[in-house]
């Protein structure tokens, strides 16, 4: 089983978007995929067409003391995903995160995965935002591929080293960086990419995800860009990115 | 299965209903309906009539139809109807078999036969023979010198016997048949050994032919016959020399790979790039300068010099703005050679790369070409191919661009590679790197002749330096635009070669190996081919008009000797050159040039210090289709002569003595062939239109279309030029003409965005006009397109090897088309006369039968059958 965690280097870098599209694209390659949303904004589900008013999800389910796996959904396209769920108050969120405060449930995620009856070549894709709570740290620790999503701005390039440190406390996993929102007509984007390539080497994806309006429009119509605009550049970028990530899971390291 | 008996009336009614006659309302009404109103839907028989009588209006009958209908019926009875033509291949033209009239096809199906089971068996046999031959060649016996000499001696004696033994007609015919069979078998074997075998066979039979011609076919009693005969024999001797030298030159193409430079870039030597220009527009030269700036090489060791003999202010400003050196000199002595020498004195890099001002280098040019210099200290020259991304006048007028190899492809694909084997690859004036020290040692670029490039290389070779040829296209330029410019360029080359022949004859003097002498010699002899070609074009007239037996032998004997000599020669050449030159097309190039190079070569041979030369004009426009009468006058006179000869031949075969008839026919056949070549030459001389100043080059590159609303669409480019591009978007877009968009292209992994305006749209294609802002974007565009390292690598992808019979058909049809175009031009020249003639032509064609149209769908066809 392959486990990917996807973390945005800054807010709005596009981690949730990437998680949703990787799930679809890897699924299209013929693998079984399951996407988890660990972000309280609970927006992963929107890419899969889930109704905004439905509040179900992992957090409410666990808080209600029900089995976690009953919170999973399947999109009309056959993608399995686990929404975070809508929590009305901050206190509920804290209550949910507190479920995983050490030493409680320290291996909860691994145990969950162990109970799944899925083939070995299945992919688990997790949207794991900063900051790393105990739950999120546990997800990242269980991931064999850890992806950081960078925006083409100064913050990304100055932060890339720090992100690398926080994403890789051990050496069992490979670390990858993806540049999202790239616009080749802006000089800064060229420069940031150049710097990142020098800094990160092979860990930086050779494919950038372009700043393509199709992506925003796709989300607005609650679709992935593969359905909304299959011949867009973003669809092509994301497909190739999925191939790059799945082709040789252990080869590239920072 | 049993059927209820059907009464004949019912059957008849069915039948009539099927043919659109409604009998439900009684017979009379049925017949009336047929006459008076259009039945519902067109009945099948009308389709049939319309298909098979496409030119006859049955609703508007004409008295002439009384003759036209029987004529068409006769035609239908005798000629096979056309099958629906398959969809045409891209870039296909008139020689596409899919467009041959169907009734011609069975007779021309020969090439297809060659790929049947017989061919497969032959290939298998060939493979086995090849293994056997290889094993034989690997025997250690051959390593001993005495054995080798002995075998050479025996082979030499046998060959001599084979060449000189006289045979009677029947024996010679048997001999020819056996040789042909042998050649046919060897031809299917791959590899250099088979090539060498074919070459030996071809040399033996050609020598035999010449020997026979010299020893038995000259009529010494008749001075006129003797003179004509000797002239023809001289021409044939020239052909024989070219053939043999050509074999030596191309027997073993070296196919030298590129050698990489050391990892440590501090070891890379300094290179000066020279871009000489005289009168070319800056727009043409900008690309070259911008591309040269971006060649992948350490910036501190790359200096670019624009050598402007036109001393133009805009050049100086441009060079300054992009940071390249700009050199001028007070005079223009010795043209390009003098310009280069002047620059040599004002620069100091260890190496000098030279580009004609329209040759755009790829970014990898120096890394591909410099490696060998570091490996071989005596290496003074590395030449790479001249690649042309626009059509030369032959290709444009014949419609053969990228389909049939052009003249240059034989030279840069095979001959230079073959020269390299003999250490005789020569400098071609552009796309080459020279080592400065040896170049200065031989006195810089040679100024004595107008082909300074070949002459300089010859001097380097004489001085003991080596040259190399790397057959990877690393730069591309424009071909000559018009036929007159093309001919002007070739005149210059032939003049220059004749000058070298006089000043610095490669057959004499010291410092050259015999291989080098042959390679250089052949390059020069090639340009002396004008007179022999004209002799071949007029020889049969000697007999047809003047009754002079120039080949004093019975016609069967002539065929038995000459066909063997020409057949084996062309089969061998097709085997060697198949990918770089198609049979028969080369004849066309040489015929067109022959007349024009006769005088300059002769003048230069006798007075090598004669007049000045013209610079090859490039980048021009041909605004209207026109027929170059000045250029084609010599061919028109030759056509007239041959036409008279043909008429005389017909007269002679009717009224002449019967024992001469075979000779008459032989000469008429020859005349007919000449007329075909001349027709092709005429075809070349009628210029097709050329309207773009920046040539759109077919290039399939990934691209992104940036729509005005911020969406990005994946696409592929169809063609690209510095002016614009055609895009094939992956999906339909709502783009309209006049919209402003942007297009991303890549240089390696680096993406660049270019603004553009939409100038035309169709369901699948967008035509764009670039709206570049500044030199930086222009430079990026050159890098993303013309100077990509792989830009010209797969230029000939998908082109098949030579298929002689197939090419014969294309060649013949171009000859015929030449006469058609000539007719059209002549008619339009004599305007009033033309209209009258065109009218009468139309009147005649009105009566002629037509090919039936293909069926609309198969249902109708079956309902008729």
CB contact under 8 Å between B711 and A231, yes or no, is: no
The enclosing domain of A17 has a CATH number of: 3.40.50.300
Shortest CB distance from A213 goes to which of B710, B742, B750?
A: B710
Which chain B residues are Cβ-neighbours of A228 within 8 angstroms? Answer: none
> Chain A: residue nearest B753 by CA?
A185
What tokens were used for A155? Answer: 């913050």
A253 inside domain: no
d(CA A11, CA A157): 15
Reported confidence tier of residue B1, pLDDT bands at 50, 70, 90: very low
Which chain B residues are Cβ-neighbours of A206 within 8 angstroms? Answer: 749
Which chain B residues are Cβ-neighbours of A229 within 8 angstroms? Answer: 711, 731
Q: Which of A4, A1, A6, A2 is nearest to A178 (CA)?
A: A6
pLDDT over 90, % of chain B: 46
Shortest CB distance from A184 goes to which of B709, B729, B744?
A: B744
Which chain B residues are Cβ-neighbours of A184 within 8 angstroms? Answer: 744, 751-753
Structurally, at CATH architecture level, domain B265-479 sits in Alpha-Beta Complex (3.90)
Reported confidence tier of residue B81, pLDDT bands at 50, 70, 90: low
A92 inside domain: yes
> Chain B: residue nearest A234 by CA?
B712
CA B502 to chain centre: 31
So what's the pLDDT on residue B749? 87
Work out whether the CA dihedral B795, B797, B798, B804 comes out positive or negative.
positive
CA angle at residue B696 from B711 to B743, to 5 degrees?
15
Cα–Cα distance list, B442 to B380, B434, B445, B448, B508 (Å): 11, 12, 8, 13, 18
So what's the pLDDT on residue B487? 85
So what's the pLDDT on residue A88? 83
**Chain A contact present for B712, CB below 8 A:** yes
d(CA B75, CA B68): 10
Which chain B residues are Cβ-neighbours of A190 within 8 angstroms? Answer: 750
Shortest CB distance from A212 goes to which of B711, B750, B751?
A: B711
Instruction: Choose, out of A181, A230, A231, the residue to mutate when testing the contact with B (most B CBs < 10 Å).
Output: A231
A208 inside domain: yes
So what's the pLDDT on residue B3? 45
Please list the helix, strand and coil fractions of chain B in percent, rounded to the nearest 5, in that order. 55, 10, 35
Q: Which of B653, B657, B681 is nearest to B667 (CA)?
A: B653
For chain A, the residues whose C-beta falls within 8 A of a C-beta of chain B are 182, 184-185, 190, 206, 210-214, 217, 229-236
Q: Are B435 and B350 in contact (CB under 8 A)?
A: yes
Q: Which of B637, B631, B626 is nearest to B675 (CA)?
A: B637
d(CA B359, CA B371): 21
A114 inside domain: yes
The residues in B 721-750 lying below 8 A from A, measured between CB atoms, are 729-731, 742, 744, 749-750
Question: Read out DSSP for B206-234?
Answer: HHHHHHHHHHHS--TT-HHHHHHHHHHHH
A207 inside domain: yes
Cα–Cα distance list, B771 to B417, B756, B757 (Å): 42, 5, 7
Query: Does position B37 have pLDDT exceeding 60, yes or no?
Result: no
Which chain B residues are Cβ-neighbours of A233 within 8 angstroms? Answer: 704, 712-714
CB contact under 8 Å between B714 and A235, yes or no, is: yes
The residues in B 747-806 lying below 8 A from A, measured between CB atoms, are 749-753
Task: Check residues B278 and B398 and name the one with the higher pLDDT.
Answer: B278
Instruction: Choose, out of A233, A237, A238, A239, the residue to mutate when testing the contact with B (most B CBs < 10 Å).
Output: A233
What tokens were used for B44? Answer: 């099948």
What tokens were used for A200? Answer: 């990160």
At a CB cut-off of 8 Å and minimum separation 6, what does B301 contact? B268, B269, B270, B271, B349
CB contact under 8 Å between B714 and A231, yes or no, is: yes
Which chain A residues are Cβ-neighbours of B751 within 8 angstroms? Answer: 182, 184
So what's the pLDDT on residue B426? 92
What is the residue extent of each domain of chain B?
A: 144-251+529-687, 265-479, 700-784
Assembly ipTM? 0.91
Instruction: Choose, out of B713, B714, B729, the residue to mutate when testing the contact with A (most A CBs < 10 Å).
Output: B714
d(CA A206, CA A197): 9
As a whole number, the mean pLDDT across chain B is 83
Shortest CB distance from A214 goes to which of B712, B742, B752?
A: B712
A143: distance to nearest CA of chain B, Å? Answer: 30
A113 inside domain: yes
Which chain B residues are Cβ-neighbours of A211 within 8 angstroms? Answer: 710
A147: distance to nearest CA of chain B, Å? Answer: 21
**Chain A contact present for B346, CB below 8 A:** no
Any bridge partners for residue B387, and if so which?
B476
CB contact under 8 Å between A185 and B729, yes or no, is: no
> pLDDT of B469-495, one tens digit each?
999 999 999 888 888 888 888 888 999
Query: Does position B789 have pLDDT exceeding 70, yes or no?
Result: yes
Which chain B residues are Cβ-neighbours of A182 within 8 angstroms? Answer: 751
Query: Does position B840 have pLDDT exceeding 60, yes or no?
Result: yes
> pLDDT of B691-715, one tens digit each?
555 678 888 899 999 999 999 999 9
Which chain A residues are Cβ-neighbours of B744 within 8 angstroms? Answer: 184
Q: Which of B99-103, B449-453, B596-600, B608-612 has the lowest mean pLDDT?
A: B99-103
Cα–Cα distance list, B688 to B191, B398, B622, B685 (Å): 41, 9, 8, 9
> Chain B: residue nearest A228 by CA?
B711
d(CA B769, CA B519): 47
Query: Does position B114 have pLDDT exceeding 80, yes or no?
Result: no
The residues in B 45-74 lying below 8 A from A, measured between CB atoms, are none
> pLDDT of B596-646, one tens digit each?
888 888 888 888 876 554 444 444 445 455 566 677 788 889 999 999 999
Reported confidence tier of residue B28, pLDDT bands at 50, 70, 90: low
- How many residue pairs bridge chain A and chain B with CB atoms within 8 Å of each other? 43
CB contact under 8 Å between A184 and B751, yes or no, is: yes
As for how many domains chain A has, the answer is: 1
* CATH class of the region B700-784: mainly beta
Pick the most confident of A165-174, B159-168, B590-599. Answer: B159-168
Give the range of the structural domain holding residue A41, as residue numbers without chain letter. 2-247
So what's the pLDDT on residue B227? 86
Instruction: Choose, out of B711, B746, B747, B750, the residue to mutate when testing the contact with A (most A CBs < 10 Å).
Output: B711
d(CA B809, CA B811): 5
Catalytic positions of B are 309, 453
Across residues B808-830, what is the average pLDDT? Answer: 79
> Chain B: residue nearest A194 by CA?
B750
CB contact under 8 Å between B744 and A234, yes or no, is: no
**Chain A contact present for B525, CB below 8 A:** no
CB contact under 8 Å between A210 and B704, yes or no, is: yes
Shortest CB distance from B742 goes to which of A185, A211, A214?
A: A185
Instruction: Choose, out of A186, A212, A220, A228, the residue to mutate when testing the contact with B (most B CBs < 10 Å).
Output: A212
What tokens were used for A143? Answer: 């991931």
Residue-wise pLDDT tens for chain A (254 aa)? Answer: 899 999 998 888 999 999 999 999 999 998 999 999 999 999 999 999 888 888 889 999 999 989 888 889 998 878 899 999 998 888 998 899 888 887 888 889 988 888 888 888 899 999 999 888 889 989 998 999 999 999 999 888 788 888 888 887 677 788 999 999 999 999 999 999 999 999 898 899 999 999 999 999 999 999 999 999 999 999 999 999 999 998 865 544 43
Query: Does position B252 have pLDDT exceeding 50, yes or no?
Result: yes
Backbone torsions φ then ψ of B480, nearest 5 degrees:
-60, 145
Query: Does position B101 have pLDDT exceeding 70, yes or no?
Result: no
Shortest CB distance from B711 goes to which of A182, A206, A213?
A: A213
Which chain B residues are Cβ-neighbours of A232 within 8 angstroms? Answer: 711-714
Query: Does position B90 have pLDDT exceeding 60, yes or no?
Result: no
A22 inside domain: yes
A254 inside domain: no
> Chain B: residue nearest A213 by CA?
B711
């Amino acid at each position: 089983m392959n486990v990917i965690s996807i973390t945005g280097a800054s807010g709005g870098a596009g981690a949730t978007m990437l998680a949703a599209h990787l799930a679809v694209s890897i699924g299209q390659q013929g693998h079984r995929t399951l996407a988890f949303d660990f972000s309280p904004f609970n927006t992963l589900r929107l890419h899969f067409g889930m109704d905004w008013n439905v509040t179900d999800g992992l957090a409410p389910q666990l808080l209600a003391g029900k089995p976690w796996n009953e919170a999973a959904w399947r999109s009309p396209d056959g993608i399995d995903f686990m929404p975070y769920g809508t929590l009305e108050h901050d206190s509920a969120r804290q209550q949910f995160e507190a479920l995983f405060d050490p030493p409680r449930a320290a291996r909860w995620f691994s145990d969950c995965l162990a109970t799944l009856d899925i083939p070995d070549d299945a992919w688990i894709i997790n949207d794991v935002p900063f900051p790393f709570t105990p739950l999120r740290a546990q997800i990242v620790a269980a991931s064999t591929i850890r992806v950081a999503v960078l925006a083409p701005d100064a913050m990304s390039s100055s932060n890339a080293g720090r992100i690398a440190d926080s994403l890789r406390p051990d050496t069992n996993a490979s670390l990858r960086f993806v540049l999202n929102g790239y616009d080749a007509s802006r000089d800064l984007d060229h420069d940031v990419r150049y710097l990142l390539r020098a800094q990160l080497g092979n860990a930086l994806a050779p494919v950038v995800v372009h700043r393509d309006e199709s992506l925003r429009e796709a989300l607005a119509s609650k679709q992935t860009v593969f359905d909304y605009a299959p011949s867009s550049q973003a669809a092509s970028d994301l497909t190739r990115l999925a191939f790059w990530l799945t082709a040789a899971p252990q080869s590239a390291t920072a | 299965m049993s059927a209820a008996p059907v009464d004949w009336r019912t059957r008849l009614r069915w039948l009539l209903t099927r043919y659109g006659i409604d009998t439900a309302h009684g017979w009379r009404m049925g017949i009336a309906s047929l006459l008076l109103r259009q039945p519902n839907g067109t009945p099948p028989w009308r389709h049939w009539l319309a298909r098979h009588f496409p030119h006859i209006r049955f609703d508007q009958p004409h008295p002439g139809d009384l003759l036209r209908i029987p004529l068409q019926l006769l035609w239908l009875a005798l000629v096979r109807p056309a099958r629906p033509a398959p969809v045409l291949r891209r870039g296909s033209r008139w020689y596409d078999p899919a467009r041959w009239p169907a009734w011609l096809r069975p007779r021309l199906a020969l090439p297809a036969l060659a790929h049947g089971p017989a061919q497969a068996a032959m290939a298998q046999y060939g493979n086995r023979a090849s293994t056997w031959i290889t094993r034989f060649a690997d025997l250690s016996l051959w390593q001993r010198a005495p054995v080798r000499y002995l075998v050479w001696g025996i082979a030499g004696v046998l060959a001599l016997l084979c060449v000189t033994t006289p045979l009677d007609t029947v024996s010679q015919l048997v001999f020819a048949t056996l040789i042909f069979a042998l050649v046919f078998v060897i031809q299917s074997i791959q590899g250099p050994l088979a090539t060498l075998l074919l070459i030996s066979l071809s040399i033996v039979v050609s020598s035999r032919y010449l020997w026979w011609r010299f020893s038995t076919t000259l009529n010494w009693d008749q001075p006129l016959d003797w003179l004509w005969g000797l002239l023809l024999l001289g021409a044939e001797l020239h052909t024989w020399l070219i053939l043999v030298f050509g074999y030596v030159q191309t027997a073993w193409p070296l196919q030298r790979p590129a050698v990489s430079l050391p990892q440590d870039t501090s070891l890379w030597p300094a290179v000066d790039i020279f871009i000489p220009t005289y009168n070319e527009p800056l727009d043409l030269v900008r690309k070259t300068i911008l591309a040269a700036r971006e060649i992948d090489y350490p910036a501190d060791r790359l200096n670019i010099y624009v050598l402007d003999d036109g001393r133009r202010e805009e050049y100086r400003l441009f060079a300054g703005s992009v940071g390249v050196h700009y050199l001028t000199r007070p005079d223009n002595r010795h043209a390009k050679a003098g310009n280069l020498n002047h620059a040599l004195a004002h620069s100091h890099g260890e190496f000098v790369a030279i580009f004609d001002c329209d040759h755009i280098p790829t970014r990898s040019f120096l890394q591909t070409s410099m490696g060998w210099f570091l490996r071989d200290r005596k290496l003074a020259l590395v030449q790479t191919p001249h690649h042309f991304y626009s059509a030369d006048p032959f290709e444009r007028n014949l419609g053969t661009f990228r389909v049939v190899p052009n003249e240059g492809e034989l030279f840069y694909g095979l001959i230079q590679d073959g020269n390299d084997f003999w250490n005789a690859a020569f400098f071609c004036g552009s796309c080459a790197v020279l080592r400065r020290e040896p170049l200065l040692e031989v006195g810089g670029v040679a100024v004595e002749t107008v082909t300074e490039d070949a002459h300089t290389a010859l001097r380097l070779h004489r001085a003991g330096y080596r040259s190399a040829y790397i057959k990877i296209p690393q730069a591309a330029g424009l071909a000559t635009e018009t036929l007159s410019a093309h001919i002007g360029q070739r005149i210059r080359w032939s003049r220059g070669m004749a000058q070298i022949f006089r000043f610095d004859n490669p057959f004499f003097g010291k410092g050259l190996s015999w291989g080098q002498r042959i390679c250089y010699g052949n390059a020069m002899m090639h340009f002396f081919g004008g007179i022999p070609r004209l002799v071949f074009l007029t020889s049969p007239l000697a007999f047809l008009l003047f009754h002079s037996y120039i080949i004093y032998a019975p016609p069967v004997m002539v065929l038995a000797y000459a066909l063997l000599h020409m057949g084996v020669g062309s089969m061998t050449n097709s085997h060697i050159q198949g990918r770089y030159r198609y049979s028969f097309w080369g004849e066309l190039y040489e015929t067109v040039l022959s007349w024009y190079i006769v005088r300059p070569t002769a003048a230069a041979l006798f007075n090598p210090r004669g007049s000045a030369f013209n610079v090859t004009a490039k980048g021009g426009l041909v605004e209207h289709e026109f027929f170059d009468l000045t250029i084609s006058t010599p061919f028109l006179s030759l056509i007239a002569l041959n036409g008279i000869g043909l008429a005389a031949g017909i007269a002679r075969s009717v009224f002449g003595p019967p024992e001469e008839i075979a000779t008459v026919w032989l000469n008429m056949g020859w005349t007919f062939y000449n007329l075909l070549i001349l027709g092709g030459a005429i075809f070349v001389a009628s210029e097709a239109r050329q309207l773009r100043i920046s040539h759109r080059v077919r290039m399939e590159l990934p691209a992104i279309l940036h729509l005005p609303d911020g969406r990005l669409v994946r696409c592929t480019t169809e063609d690209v030029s510095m002016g614009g591009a055609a895009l094939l978007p992956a999906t339909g877009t709502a783009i309209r003409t006049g919209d402003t968009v942007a297009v991303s292209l890549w240089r390696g992994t680096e993406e660049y965005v270019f603004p553009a305006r939409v100038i035309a749209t169709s369901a699948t294609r967008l035509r764009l006009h670039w709206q570049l802002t500044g030199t930086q974007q222009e430079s990026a565009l050159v890098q993303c397109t013309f100077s990509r390292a792989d830009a010209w690598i797969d230029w000939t992808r998908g082109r098949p090897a030579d298929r002689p019979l197939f090419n014969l058909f294309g060649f013949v049809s171009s000859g015929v088309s030449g006469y058609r175009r000539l007719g059209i031009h002549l008619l339009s020249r004599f305007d009033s006369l033309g209209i009258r003639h065109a009218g009468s032509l139309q009147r005649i064609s009105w009566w002629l039968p037509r090919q039936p149209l293909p069926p609309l769908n198969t249902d109708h066809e079956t309902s008729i059958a």
